């Protein structure tokens, strides 16, 4: 059993939990995810690791209530437990394995959309813990849906954090792409790499902009995941014309190579039995990963 050290509601329908999982905390890196199961009959839910504390043996997850499984999960309180916590899964962010001195020569900008702010946090935290700087753009619908504002300020400083809201209810009005364009074209900022995490449609439009600006961009693909080991085929993607599976090959990919339209269409189809059957027929031998015969 994996005890919940702390459970809290951040904003409407978004919750954060700190879970005791020493083995996961000891080896996880920014960019990776895990799968939790509440009990024997519970659904397996993939969640990006939003933070970790190796000394305390804890990991932090943030999730949004979308269906029955997450409604049940949101009812858990401090002191309750998960039956299973499996991870870390997926590949760490590429910068983790890069030489620090080489990273110091690059300027990163992170663009977070909505719930994507949570997985951006450990990446930004890693940068500043290693003596590196980066800028962070946080975009959200309105002030009431904003998360991790103070946490970002605490690690990066207000001079590196730029917040925008779709409706203009807090700080400024506009999308994250508007802020990025302003920083580059009007404020003279120069970036070598952009990392975008959020809804697929948001990442698609970030990539359209960064391609125009000449900024290589990494995106974190979070389509439907089921087993997290490349066996089920749920998270199949087309990246650079090749079949990839987000759970084992990603979740991070070169944003300029991702076929976002195909990914979004496939995600919608996979939600129904008929859609899954059609995808299995159309995709043939590539429907599932090579990790399963």
pLDDT at 266 over 90: no
Pull the structure tokens for residue 178: 């508007």
pLDDT at 42 over 90: no
Distance from C-alpha of 80 to C-alpha of 75, rounded to nearest angstrom: 10
Q: Where are the domains of the chain?
A: 2-89, 94-210, 221-293
- Percent of residues, the chain, with pLDDT higher than 90: 78
pLDDT of residue 99: 96
**pLDDT band at residue 2 using 50, 70 and 90 as cut-offs:** very high
pLDDT of residue 293: 36
pLDDT of residue 287: 66
Residue located via tokens 């359209």 = 208
pLDDT of residue 67: 86
pLDDT of residue 265: 85
Mean pLDDT of 155-169: 97
Least confident of 23-32, 200-209, 220-229, 272-281: 272-281
pLDDT at 86 over 50: yes
**pLDDT band at residue 234 using 50, 70 and 90 as cut-offs:** confident
CATH number of 94-210: 3.40.50.80
Mean pLDDT of the chain: 91
Pairwise pLDDT comparison (188 vs 271), residue with the higher score = 188
pLDDT at 81 over 50: yes
pLDDT at 151 over 80: yes
pLDDT of residue 201: 95
Residue pLDDT, tens place only, 102-130 = 999 999 999 999 999 999 999 999 999 99
Mean pLDDT of 196-212: 97
Strands ordered across the beta sheet of 217-220: 161-165, 134-140, 108-113, 193-197, 217-220, 252-254
Mean pLDDT of 7-22: 97
**pLDDT band at residue 236 using 50, 70 and 90 as cut-offs:** confident
**pLDDT band at residue 259 using 50, 70 and 90 as cut-offs:** very high
Give me the phi and psi of 246, to 5 degrees please. Answer: -60, -35
CATH architecture of the region 2-89: Beta Barrel (2.40)
Mean pLDDT of 176-187: 97
């Amino acid at each position: 059993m994996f005890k919940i050290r702390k459970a809290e509601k951040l904003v409407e329908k978004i919750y954060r939990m700190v879970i005791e999982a020493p083995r996961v905390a000891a080896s996880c890196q920014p960019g990776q995810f895990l799968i939790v199961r509440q009990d024997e009959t519970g659904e397996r839910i993939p969640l990006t690791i939003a933070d970790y504390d190796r000394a305390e043996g804890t990991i932090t997850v943030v999730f949004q209530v979308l269906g029955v499984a997450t409604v049940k999960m949101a009812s858990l309180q401090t002191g309750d437990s998960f039956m299973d916590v499996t991870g870390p899964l997926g590949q760490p962010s590429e910068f983790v394995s890069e030489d620090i001195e080489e990273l110091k020569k690059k300027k990163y900008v992170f663009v977070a959309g909505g719930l994507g702010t949570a997985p951006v946090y450990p990446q930004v935290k890693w940068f500043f813990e290693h003596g590196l700087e980066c800028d962070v753009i946080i975009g959200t619908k309105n002030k009431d849906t904003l998360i991790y504002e103070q946490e970002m300020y605490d690690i990066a400083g207000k001079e590196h954090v730029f917040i925008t809201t779709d409706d203009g209810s807090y700080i400024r009005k506009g999308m994250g792409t508007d802020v990025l364009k302003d920083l580059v074209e009007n404020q003279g900022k120069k970036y070598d790499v952009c990392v975008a995490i959020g809804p697929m449609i948001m990442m698609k439009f970030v990539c359209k902009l960064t391609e125009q600006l000449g900024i290589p961009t990494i995106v974190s693909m979070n389509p439907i995941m089921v087993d997290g080991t490349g066996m089920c085929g749920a998270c199949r993607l087309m990246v650079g014309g090749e079949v990839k599976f987000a759970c084992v090959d990603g979740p991070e990919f070169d944003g300029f190579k991702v076929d976002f339209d195909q990914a979004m269409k496939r995600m919608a189809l996979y939600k129904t039995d008929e859609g899954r059957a059609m995808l299995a027929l159309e995709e043939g031998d590539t429907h599932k990963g090579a990790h399963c015969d």
